[in-house]
Structure 1
Amino acid sequence: MLRVVQALDGGICRIKLDGGSIQASQAEAVASVAERFAGGVIEATNRANLQIRGIGLEHGALIEPLLAAGLGPRKPAGDDVRNLMLSPSAGIDRQMLFDTRPLAEQTLVTLQTQERFHELSAKFAVQLDGGEALAMLEHHHDLWLSALVRDGEPWLAFGLAGVPLDKPAGRVPLAQGHALVVAVLELFLELARPDQIRMRHLLAEIPMNEFMARLARRVPLQPCLDWQRDVSIDGLHIGIHPQHDDRVYVGAAAPLGRLDTAMLRGAAQLAREKGDGSLRFTPWQSLLLPNVRRADADEVLAGLEGLGLLCSVEQPLAQLIACTGSSGCAKALADTKADARQLAERLQGQGHALKAHLSGCPRSCAAAHVAPATLLAVAPGRYDLYFRDATLPGFGALQAHNLTIEALGHWLDARPRSPLDA
């Protein structure tokens, strides 16, 4: 947040949210500065953060109100390293094994206040998963921890350079979770060269068993041979869903990850009036209003829809991801946002449901995981089409080359049962 990065359409300020959560008053502060000092464009990111685009020259004037709202780091040098992803429904999910938020708060304080961890790359990331049904399990993290219960006692399975669907490297009691995080990060910093900024870079040189042997000398570890993470349930980030208590949360997606100031202000007002005064952003570029009374849920959903948010997974635009595109990024070869909207209109007319990622270049900034289908721009309005294939690197298997959006529509009509269908 303290460093505004320049892009083709102006400056970008990323606001990291603790566990993806933001208070209504803080959301209103974001909307206000986006309106005053930028183009009014706010993006929900795939790491459950927010970013403001199109910032002019008044960087300090924009950042000051955000700091006053409590959206900054505990220490300035700790801004880049507060990369801890929680499940959006942490603490309220019906399937959760325990509430991960206390451990998350302890970990975030450590990351921001302990100077030795300020040496970590801004991309180094930790995931803490409480076993929720609503959980992003496809984004790779340098360290992941996932809840399990053995003989009535809470434990954390963990792994390195992967996802909670992988085979765990080991487990520790929940009470040792913070000590494990600290030990992993300290060991990484001791062993990694300056060019090895991610755990996968280090493990490409130092065998996993050697790293784990060193780790076991710092924290008592147990094997975790018989555990497998349940797959999360698709679509729980949109619509009305019961919590573990007698309340519900209501979710809606920002179209292609973008909110305007009216959307954010309106959602904040609904959260204040009908929820607990907070919003939670998700890795699916959507937002949740938690702790809503069941009697108010339909009204809240209608309110979010009235703001222009997507409130049903049946809406084609809710299934599409698109990067900034050539309107805001010099590296992009196509206007992916505009093309995605055109594609959504065609899909609506054809009755197709499509889970796809439109990427303006091979960097894949908009998706931290490989989507079922990827449209990779090769020229303005033209894309190569890939299907995800676990046996192949990158985006997967190339299906078609140099397609226009119109040609993709014809391609889908000729293959109605393609793996693209959502």
Structure 2
Amino acid sequence: MTLPPDFPATTPVRPSGCPGLLRIVQAMDGGICRVKLAGGLITAQQAEAVADVAHRYASGVIEATNRSNLQIRGVGTAHQALIEPLLAVGLGPANAASDDVRNLMLSPTAGIDPQQVIDTWPLARQILGSLESTPRFAELSAKFAVQLDGGEALAMREHHHDLWLCAFECNGQPLLAFGLAGCPAQDAALGSVPVEHGHELVMTVLTLFLELARPEHTRMRHLFKERAITDFFAQLAQRLSVAIGPAAAWPRATHSRQSPIGTYPQRETGQVYVGATLALGRLDAAQLSALAKIATRYGNGTLRFTPWQGVLVPHVRAEQAACVTQALHALGLLCDAQHPLTQMVACTGSSACIKGLADTKQDARRLASLISQPQPIHLTGCLRSCAAAHVAPVTLLAVAPGHYDLYLRDPQHAGFGVLRERNLTIEAAGAWLEARQRSNTHD
């Protein structure tokens, strides 16, 4: 692949198994091009561009990822023709080497959430700018990720990150609690710094990691297998210009306090955002184009994709919310939080992945027809668990076409948790889950 002549590429696109905008990775159904969205936000013009190239140069299938990005599937041989329009509308990195490092997760309601402690966008833009403009950060793995949580009611707190920061207020001062190689839902914060030192903290953590890590240490957790986290913390404290404070006052939130589906008020008087989920994280080019038109007609011309593989239409006048919900439903999006597919995640499966042992997408739809209430269930075609960024309460691991081992998450057990049943058909899995749901309800 070659870049446009005027694109500021400083180094070649490096080899990696992870797709990017400039690195299209082959799968059984064609190439995969991942379009990274800052904070999950995309303009209507950009969404139309993604839809257009997905239709022209790929299969038309678009996926919302669990990191609030989009990826185009079934890319053919015209890689340059697909990439250039996306660069033209501002969906690319500042330079070729920095595409991989733009891994900063925000709440999908950053800046508009009435519950937020801070608006994270100013700090996020500062961090993203430094990630792209600092040559050494190109050494970071494509999987190395940072989370910035502003204390919003709608935020993903279970995904593991190499560095996470959560805003809270103590004695009237906004602070950032932070942790390493974990997530806010499970881990205690290591300490806190004032918000105005958030950028310095992130830059120092990343620089220190690169100095201490060997090439095989692609993630923070790999480094901590050989080096004590207390040692890393001590070196970090020496380098910062501000003392690391305690985080005892940080009110750890174990999960999002609000559903990503439905209509909710924004900070702006009279405005709401409307959320819906994509069935199994997928939409086609026509649906994305229609979403762009809905955002332009009813909102401010932007969409926000969520780590629950859904989308928000923000800046809608409250009196038009019902029209937006109706339009999203007409597109085939899930607007009812009680639909069984809203909490179900499935990988690509055997229809498009050589490692998949079952058609997980098709099996997930079948399973949804067999259960009466939504349950957090992850269907994975192999042990790699590509579709889920954290272990789900229930995991169905494919062992053969249409057959799965069933696991229940347990903090005391590594991996998917406790193996409860082997070699279940989808029908048997549905019956087992329904019986368990009834039992839990009766308790």
Common fold, TM-score beyond 0.5?
yes
Structure 1's 380 and 73: CA in aligned 2 closer, same or farther, altered over 3 A?
A: same
Structure 1's 342 and 56: CA in aligned 2 closer, same or farther, altered over 3 A?
A: same
1:225 aligns with 2:248: yes
1:243 aligns with 2:266: yes
Provide the rounded CA distance (Å) in 2 between the counterparts of 1:410 and 1:289.
36
Query: What amino acid maps onto 1:98 in structure 2?
Result: I
* Counterpart in the other structure of 2:404: 383
Query: What amino acid maps onto 1:366 in structure 2?
Result: A
CA displacement, residues 356-387 of structure 1 (integer Å, 9 cap, x when unaligned): 00000011110001111010000000000111
CA contact (8 A) 1:131 1:229 kept: no
CA displacement, residues 112-164 of structure 1 (integer Å, 9 cap, x when unaligned): 11101011010100000001110000000000000011221111110100112
Provide the rounded CA distance (Å) in 2 between the counterparts of 1:374 and 1:193.
33
CA contact (8 A) 2:156 2:256 kept: no
Cα deviation for residue 234 of structure 1 reads: 5.3
Cα deviation for residue 352 of structure 1 reads: 3.4
1:196 aligns with 2:217: yes
Provide the rounded CA distance (Å) in 2 between the counterparts of 1:368 and 1:215.
27
What pairs with 1:80-159 in structure 2 (closer than 5 Å)?
80-159=100-179
Structure 1's 108 and 355: CA in aligned 2 closer, same or farther, altered over 3 A?
A: same
* Counterpart in the other structure of 1:365: 386
Cα deviation for residue 418 of structure 1 reads: 5.2
What pairs with 1:6-405 in structure 2 (closer than 5 Å)?
6-165=26-185, 166-219=187-240, 220=242, 221-233=244-256, 236-246=259-269, 247-347=271-371, 351-405=372-426
Cα deviation for residue 235 of structure 1 reads: 5.3
Provide the rounded CA distance (Å) in 1 between the counterparts of 2:125 and 2:171.
26
Query: What amino acid maps onto 1:87 in structure 2?
Result: S
Structure 1's 168 and 420: CA in aligned 2 closer, same or farther, altered over 3 A?
A: farther
CA contact (8 A) 1:167 1:228 kept: no
Cα deviation for residue 34 of structure 1 reads: 0.3
Q: Secondary structure of the equivalent of 2:370?
A: helix
Q: CA RMSD in A?
A: 1.4
Provide the rounded CA distance (Å) in 1 between the counterparts of 2:337 and 2:176.
32
CA contact (8 A) 1:196 1:202 kept: yes
CA contact (8 A) 2:36 2:69 kept: yes
Gaps (5+ residues) in structure 2? Answer: 1-20
CA displacement, residues 74-117 of structure 1 (integer Å, 9 cap, x when unaligned): 11110001000001110111211010011000000100111010
Provide the rounded CA distance (Å) in 2 between the counterparts of 1:92 and 1:414.
41
Provide the rounded CA distance (Å) in 1 between the counterparts of 2:378 and 2:255.
20
Q: Secondary structure of the equivalent of 1:346?
A: coil
Provide the rounded CA distance (Å) in 2 between the counterparts of 1:419 and 1:373.
14
Q: Secondary structure of the equivalent of 1:147?
A: strand
Structure 1's 297 and 332: CA in aligned 2 closer, same or farther, altered over 3 A?
A: same
Provide the rounded CA distance (Å) in 2 between the counterparts of 1:281 and 1:415.
32
CA contact (8 A) 1:142 1:162 kept: yes
CA contact (8 A) 2:184 2:253 kept: no
Cα deviation for residue 406 of structure 1 reads: 1.1
Q: Secondary structure of the equivalent of 2:333?
A: coil
Provide the rounded CA distance (Å) in 1 between the counterparts of 2:255 and 2:358.
33
Count of residues in Structure 1 that have an aligned counterpart in Structure 2: 418
Q: TM-score, normalised by structure 2?
A: 0.92
Structure 1's 234 and 150: CA in aligned 2 closer, same or farther, altered over 3 A?
A: closer
CA contact (8 A) 2:342 2:374 kept: no
CA displacement, residues 329-362 of structure 1 (integer Å, 9 cap, x when unaligned): 0011000000001111122xxx233220000001
Provide the rounded CA distance (Å) in 2 between the counterparts of 1:20 and 1:416.
33
Q: Secondary structure of the equivalent of 1:365?
A: coil
